[in-house]
Structure 1
Amino acid sequence: MITSKIISNGILRALFTIICCGLLLFFVYQIQSIIIYIIISLILTLIGNPILNFFKHKLKFNHLVATIVTLLLFIGILSSLIMMFIPLIVSQGANLSLLNTAQIEKDIILLIDQISVFLNDHNIDSAKLLKESNITSKLNFNFIPNFLNSILNTISSFGVGLGSVLFITFFFLKDRLMFIIGVKKIIPISHEEQVLNSFNKINGLLSRYFIGLLLQLFIVFLLYVIVLLIFGVPNAVVIAFLCAVLNIIPYVGPLIASVLAAILTMLSNLGSNFQTEILPVTIYVLIGFWIVQVIDNNVSQPLIFSKSVSSHPLEIFLVILIAGFLSGILGMVIAVPIYTIIKVIGKEFFPENKIIMLLTKDI
């Protein structure tokens, strides 16, 4: 028989659970920066493990020396990128008027006027459409100073974050065996073999995935630079770098990169005639970018997204599509690693399931 005391105790337990969950979420929110540091460190660890193993097994370094050399290699690559891109972005960013909000607004209004004239010359009454929509009066770039301030704040805390990430990564690489021993003490003996096998397989697959992803972005960046240089687009390296970074977002990223490249190409050539110079160059750049994306979609992405995580290209496409509907762009970015982890765990713990057997036959 349910008494009032039982009901009140149930309500109190439910309230206590809700309060504890709320406090936990609040705590996670407060330490979100630390969680991000740990996630970045885990990714660097996955990338660094094959390098560390190379130093240990091929060059016969001891574990500590191999760990230090791997970390120094990361620092060297990061320093090279900073030395290569920061001066370039600062100098070419000035040419793009990235820091002059008034100039940005002026340039885009001028570009809209040139497009309007071009369309009018081809019997399209775009001026009336622009006037009715009042688009030029709606252009407001006052958000840019706030955005730049947030970037400056991020840069100011970059040193702390970088030091934290490198420190955490060092111990993830150095004490990997210690962490495994610690996990073995926590998990039940009956599931120890499955958990350790899952860990090793996930480590191997995701290491290949992230290394391949870096290689893919570098190849796309070089191809974008070549396209932009061929057609004489100013600020080629900066535009190519921004567009290559967008390729982290599967399928959607290249489309956004094409639009961004078209806009920046037109803004970079504003002093030229729209019909005879700006428009043809922009079309050529778009064609070049689409060719790069065809190469990437048919060579780089299948190799990275499929072979590195042992999944069929259609399978990966559907996973990314579903993740995009559920969680937006962030879901698309993390879809492949999360799906890989789920597949590995499923294979270890439910090996007799027919669906899991079908999905994990290559793992």
Structure 2
Amino acid sequence: MTLRAVFKSWVDHYFSDEEAVILLVVLVLGFAVVIWLGRMLAPFFTALVIAFLLQGAVSWLERRGVPHLLAVILVFLGFLGMLMAMAFILLPLIWNQLVGLVQETPRMFASGQQLLDDLQERYPNLVTPDQIQDWIGVAGREMTQFGQRALTLSLASLGNVLALIIYLILVPILVFFMLKDRDTLVAFTLSLMPQRRTLMTRIWQEMDDQIANYVRGKFIEIIIVGTVAFLTFAYFGLPYSALLAVLVGFSVLVPYIGAAVATLPVAAVAGFHFGMTDQFLYVVLAYGVIQALDGNVLSPILFSEAVNIHPVSIIVAVLFFGGIWGFWGVFFAIPLATLLKALVYAWPRGIQRRKENEAVEALSEE
């Protein structure tokens, strides 16, 4: 079979149906809008994600007899309360700890240099003075670059105060109306789609529950892991507990890689604060227990209905979508991989099933 015949067979298999071509166009346009207009429409997309997260709570209240508008108001007030708590309690605490960490960095750097000197004295054959000087030089350059980035970020953030105010006002308003008028907005979106959308409906049904469960489950996982980490670090008296807990909580966004990356700052702060003592070992051990319970207990409970995706596919999805969309690309890497998997499996099956149904209908009419 020639290459042309193989390509023609592939096209006939996936794009012989008119709805399949329309679905491809919709997907391409959707990705193009997000890539090129994502920065401009960022408040809208942010509100869409938040409304998607809150819709589960609204539906839960409605199933228990609460009127739709009252359910939306209750959930929205809860969202505003959480937003205010973050703005006036959590963020100032994290900011103060971040400032303290930056101020203490020179002392930590000096302690690290002293530790290297002690290491060279104990093991002169393994660690040479030239190696120590090289390590100190690399660390110094990294700290200088870190300070420059922090200064640049601070100066840039001053110019983004207006954008932050717009976010804080516009996003909650969009979230409220997306929750309140959800049926109207969905009906309007469907009116823009072709009347015959059996394939689209099938693909959406296969991935809707899985993506919804994943996004809400991941949000719950971040809250639980971050809270447990904060309580654990505070119990051991580890400085910068809130800052490290936020880092550990968000590390669950990137499976496998996140836990390893978050280990470095936790171990470094514990090492500089406690030294190589039993307290340091207890903190590292407690952190390892948190990661083990998250990976082996919490994650299976929250994502028991999620699609089983190979770890290599997860890492590739995180790298690809994170490179395109940054934080949100990392957050939605697995849902997007789930979407692609659903497309690959449901697309040809959907076309084949509809052709069989049309054949059955034609025979029944005869």
Q: Give the shorter-chain TM-score range.
A: 0.7 to 0.9
Which digits, 9 at most, give the CA deviation of each residue in 1:256-313, with x for residues without a partner?
111121223345x2xx7x45x4xx54443222222211111112223334x243x22x
Q: Which residue of 2 aligns with 1:286?
A: 284
Q: Which residue of 2 aligns with 1:118?
A: 118
- Give the C-alpha shift of residue 148 in structure 1: 2.2
Quickly say closer, same or farther: Cα 1:288–1:255, change in 2 above 3 A.
same
- The alpha carbon displacement at 1:161 in A equals 1.1
CA distance in 2, matches of 1:227, 1:126: 38
Partner of 1:57: 63
> Counterparts of 2:347 and 2:283 in 1: how far apart (Å)?
50
Distance verdict in 2 for CA 1:206–1:335, change over 3 Å: same
Matches within 5 A, 1:4-153: 29=36, 31-61=37-67, 63-96=68-101, 98=102, 100=103, 104=105, 106-124=106-124, 125-132=127-134, 134-135=137-138, 138=141, 139-140=143-144, 141-153=147-159
- Measured after TM superposition, the shift of residue 34 of structure 1 is 3.5
What pairs up with 1:225-264 in 2 under 5 angstroms? 225-264=230-269
| Aligned equivalents of 1:284, 1:333: Cα separation in 2 | 31
Displacement, 1:33?
Answer: 3.0
Q: SS at the partner of 1:351? A: helix
- Return the alpha-carbon distance in structure 1 between the equivalents of residues 33 and 180 of structure 2: 32
Q: Find out whether 1:297 has 2:331 as its counterpart.
A: no
Query: Could you tell me which amino acid in structure 2 is paired with residue 246 of structure 1?
Result: S
Alignment correspondent of 2:213: 208
Q: Is the 8 A contact 1:247 1:257 kept in 2?
A: no
Q: Partners of 2:232 and 2:335 in 1: how far apart?
A: 31
Deviation at 1:337, TM superposition (A): 0.9
Structure 1 position 153, deviation (Å): 3.9
Displacement of 1:198 in angstroms is 4.2
Question: Distance in 1 between the 2:231 and 2:121 partners?
Answer: 33
* 1:300-359 deviations in Å (ceiling 9; x for gaps): 223334x243x22xx2523212324545565554221112233444565432699xxxxx
1:322 aligns with 2:325: no
Structure 2: 5+ residue runs without aligned partners? 1-30, 353-366
SS of residue matched to 1:190 = coil
Match of 2:224 among 216, 219, 223: 219
Q: What one-letter code is carried by the residue in structure 1 that aligns with 2:268?
A: I
Give the length in aligned residue pairs. Answer: 313
CA displacement, residues 142-185 of structure 1 (integer Å, 9 cap, x when unaligned): 33211222344445522211222222222322222223322333
| Kept in 1: contact 2:321–2:333 (CA 8 A) | no
Please, which runs of 5 or more residues in structure 1 have no aligned partner? 1-23, 355-363
Is 1:167 the counterpart of 2:143 in the alignment? no
In 2 relative to 1, CA 137–45 (structure 1 residues): closer, same or farther, beyond 3 Å?
Answer: closer
CA contact (8 A) 1:49 1:173 kept: yes
Q: Is the 1:319–1:335 Cα contact (8 Å) retained in structure 2?
A: no
Structure 1 distance, partners of 2:117, 2:244, is 27
User: What is the correspondence of 1:351-362 to structure 2 with a 5 Å cutoff?
Assistant: 351=349
Q: TM (normalized to structure 2)? A: 0.73
Seen in structure 2, the aligned counterparts of structure 1 residues 285 and 127 have a Cα distance that, compared at 3 Å, is farther
Letter of the 2:122 counterpart = H
SS in 2 for 1:181: helix
CA distance in 2 between counterparts of 1:95 and 1:81 reads 20
Q: Is contact 2:254-2:318 (8 Å) kept?
A: no
User: Structure 1 vs Structure 2: percent identity of aligned residues?
Assistant: 18
Q: CA RMSD of the aligned region, Å?
A: 3.3
